[in-house]
Amino acid sequence: MPGETNALNNLFGGELLARMDRAASISAKRHSEEIVVTSSVNHVSFGKAIPIGTTVTIEAKVSRAFTTSMEVYIDVWIDDDKGEKIKANEAIYTFVAVDKNGRPTKIDKILPETEQEKKRYDAALRRKQLSLVLAGKLKADDATELKALFS
């Protein structure tokens, strides 16, 4: 809609980030059944511009649940001229389940079923370690899964 677009009349990136954050938070809340907060945005790719008036579908799924945090994978689809859904963007957010005082609280694990769910689940630990290293919360030497990629 007007007001949500950039100078090229495409969806403004920040609008999409907020929408993805909302969809991802619903997914994280449904899985954990707790209050959830966005802890980090690990990856965003704006692969395709989204022109004004386009129908946008945002699909968010918990790809892996750790102790208190969850990785949420977001796929963004747009309808083309024929009404077919085409992939426009994707993003990966991390949410943390918290109690009423904002303290991290334990959550249930998930069991991936489809090939895509298994692939995303397996890679999630590496992404968590990378995110923690970049945030200065984990020493690169301790990021064992991540290091294994390069050995």
Ligand X SMILES: CC(C)(COP(=O)(O)OP(=O)(O)OC[C@H]1O[C@@H](n2cnc3c(N)ncnc32)[C@H](O)[C@@H]1OP(=O)(O)O)[C@@H](O)C(=O)NCCC(=O)NCCS
Within 71-130, which residues bind ligand X (CB under 6 A)?
A: 94, 96, 98, 102, 104, 128
Residue with tokens 């001229």: 81
Among 5, 13, 29, 38, binds ligand X (CB under 6 A): 38
Closest C-alpha to 79, from 87, 70, 90: 87
Cα distance between residue 70 and residue 33, in whole Å:
12
Round to the nearest angstrom and report the end-to-end CA distance of the chain. Answer: 48
Are 77 and 56 spatial neighbours (Cβ–Cβ below 8 Å)?
yes
Nearer to ligand X, 51 or 102 (CB): 102
By the rule CB under 6 A, 32 interacts with ligand X:
no
By the rule CB under 6 A, 14 interacts with ligand X:
no
Q: Which residues bind ligand X (CB under 6 A)?
A: 37-40, 66-69, 94, 96, 98, 102, 104, 128, 131-132, 135, 137
